[in-house]
Amino acid sequence: MSETRGRVNRVKELVASGKAVTIAVITTPSVGAMQIWARSGVDVLIIDMEHGHLGIESVHALIAATSGTPAIPLVRVPWNVPWLVKPVLDAGAMGIVFPMIANAADAAAAIRSTHYPPDGERGWGPFYAPFRWGMPLPEYVDNANSELFNILLAERPEAMENIAEIVTVPGIDMLVIAPFDLATIMEHANDPAHPDVVAAIAAAESVILASGVPLGGAALTSERANALIEKGYRGIVIGFDWMVLQRAIAGTLQGINR
């Protein structure tokens, strides 16, 4: 990394120092809304290509909308394959969120796809990323491997069983346990509080916390968020954009006599 430049990705610095970061998931292709989110105080904005209705053009626009703000744009790709990773990194994403990681091989493949050789197998072609990162193209290539923030989602029973191997893979910036997919695959759809799901999460949680790999999880209330932070969580997912909007509308309507 250049000696004259500080960290490009402030979230890497925050997490490395032991602080917790807030995360929101963006599913709608609104540049205006993204500009509001980017100035809201939320640290990480995950642009969701897995479940959001977003194409690469919208992703590029949403990434660009965070320029000049403290928010760090990541992209959740639909699947763990290099050809889905490459275009969003070249558009300027500052990290990737990988779904459905099941084992150490999946985790290693994910990290390789985000790193230029010799650390990985990312293809060269970052024509627009340097503009979002605020640096010349050669400097971007020199910094990208160390400054990208990559999140892996542990949301399969296999991941819970293989978590001790997954945490040994170099380059994982955060592991997030995703309870809803896990509950669904365990045949407890819409019931992440089922005792079997809770037990699986607790076992994986203890392994991740002991490993030193930063752990993330969902918290829809400040009380839940503070409880996770006290437990050692370093990533707090506050919700999806549609969810926050729905709650705000409901709160506005509450108490109006109609």
For residue 32, which phi and psi values (nearest 5 degrees)?
-60, -45
51 is catalytic: yes
- What does the CA dihedral 198, 204, 210, 214 come to, rounded to 10 degrees? -100
Tokens read off for 61 = 């626009």
Q: Are 128 and 94 in contact (CB under 8 A)?
A: no
Sign for the CA dihedral angle at 81, 84, 89, 90 comes to positive
Going by DSSP bridges, is the β-strand pair 96-101/215-218 parallel, antiparallel, or unpaired?
unpaired
Residues 6+ apart with CB under 8 A from 131: 64, 67, 92
Residues 6+ apart with CB under 8 A from 183: 189, 190, 191, 192, 194, 197
E-only strand ranges, 14-129 = 21-26, 44-48, 72-76, 96-101
Q: Are 196 and 184 in contact (CB under 8 A)?
A: no
CA distance 88 to 57: 10
Which residues are known catalytic residues? Answer: 51
